[in-house]
Structures are given as C-alpha cells and as structure tokens.
Amino acid sequence: MRARPLPFTVLALAGALFLTACGGDGDGGGGSDGGAGGAGDGKASGAGAACVLAEVKVETGPAAEAPADGDTGNVPVTVTNEGEECVLDGFPAVRLKGGDTSLTVPADEAAAAQELTLPKDVAATFTLTYVRGAGLDADNLLIGLPGDDGTTSLAWSYGPVALVDGEPDASVSAFQQAGD
C-alpha cells in the first residue's frame, strides 16, 4: 500500500488559495537539486536567490502520527525564511535515515511544484505522508531545499516506515505558502 496523498479537493483548494495569496509576481531564483535526494528540479527564473538552509529555520509538527502498522501518518514540515527574500522552486529533497540506511522519499506523483518567493519571516510548508510498518526503523529525517546542496537533520519519532520494493512507503507534497 502506498501512502495516500491528500484528496484532490484539498490540493485544489490549497492551490487556489496559494495563487490568490501569491499574486503571481514572478520573482524567481536559480540553483540545482537539493542534496538530500534530488527531488526538486532546481530550475528557477528571475532575479531572486534560492533559499538556503543557512538562512531558514526548519521544524516538524504537529504530526498526525500513524498509530499502528498499515496506518497512514502525516508530518508537516515548516521552512521559515530568516534571511533576505529567497525562492523555493521545486520539491523538497527528503530522505529517511535509520542506522546505516538512508532512503529517498519521492515527491507525491499527484503534486505539482510551484515557485514560491519567501520574504523575511515568511514560511512555507510541505507534508511527508508515510505508512507505518516493518521496514525502516527511521531515526532521522534529512531535508534539502531546491537550489541548495546542504541538508539538515531532524529527529524522526513517528515510528517505523513500511517499505515497498525496498523503498519507503511515503511521499512528500510540494511547498505551499504558510498562513493566509
């Protein structure tokens, strides 16, 4: 069983709210894939610089933890810009790590990345959806940003992640502007 993405109506509503909130100003930035797994395409246009981990705060939660094997959980991740205006263009690069094993979490196939410009003190979020089960006893979540080669490591306390064909039964959504 693959991790179920958010229902289409929720994604459509979020997309509509995003377009309304962003106003389509077209600022962009350049860069390459994030180093945590290369999930983002790293392509951006315009004059804005890519967001870098050295100038953002990354936090998880509050999560809707999967309570038992076979259940689906959701872990929201918030990226708050603490530096100059920057751009997120692509998907977050996410890996789950347990012991010596580190596995890439793929982007949700139903999601489309959109370029987001983050002024100072503005946040964006994405959600990691996973299925709990025997497979990877993850203890760390590695996160990279599109256009930045670095990664940051956060503790994973949401239980073991099921594997399907050796890959995590999980996915990450695209970045969305936080708040209104």
- How far apart CA 86 and CA 108 sit, in angstroms, is 24
pLDDT, mean of residues 88-108? 96
Tens-place pLDDT, residues 24-38: 333 333 333 333 443
pLDDT at 120 over 90: yes
- How far apart CA 88 and CA 43 sit, in angstroms, is 10
pLDDT, mean of residues 152-175? 96
pLDDT at 115 over 80: yes
Tell me, what's the pLDDT at 130? 98
pLDDT at 172 over 70: yes
Task: Parse the chain into domains and list their residue ranges.
Answer: 8-177
3-class secondary-structure state, position 94: strand
Tell me, what's the pLDDT at 48? 78
State pTM to two decimals.
0.73
- How far apart CA 48 and CA 40 sit, in angstroms, is 17
pLDDT at 59 over 80: yes
Higher pLDDT pick, 31 / 173 = 173
Other C-beta atoms lying within 10 Å of the C-beta of residue 13: 12
pLDDT, mean of residues 69-75? 97
> 94 is written with which tokens?
């996410």
Tell me, what's the pLDDT at 9? 37
Confidence of residue 178 (pLDDT cuts 50, 70, 90): confident
- Mean pLDDT estimate for the chain: 80
pLDDT at 42 over 50: no
Classify residue 138 by its DSSP letter.
-
Tens-place pLDDT, residues 101-110: 999 999 999 9
Tell me, what's the pLDDT at 8? 39
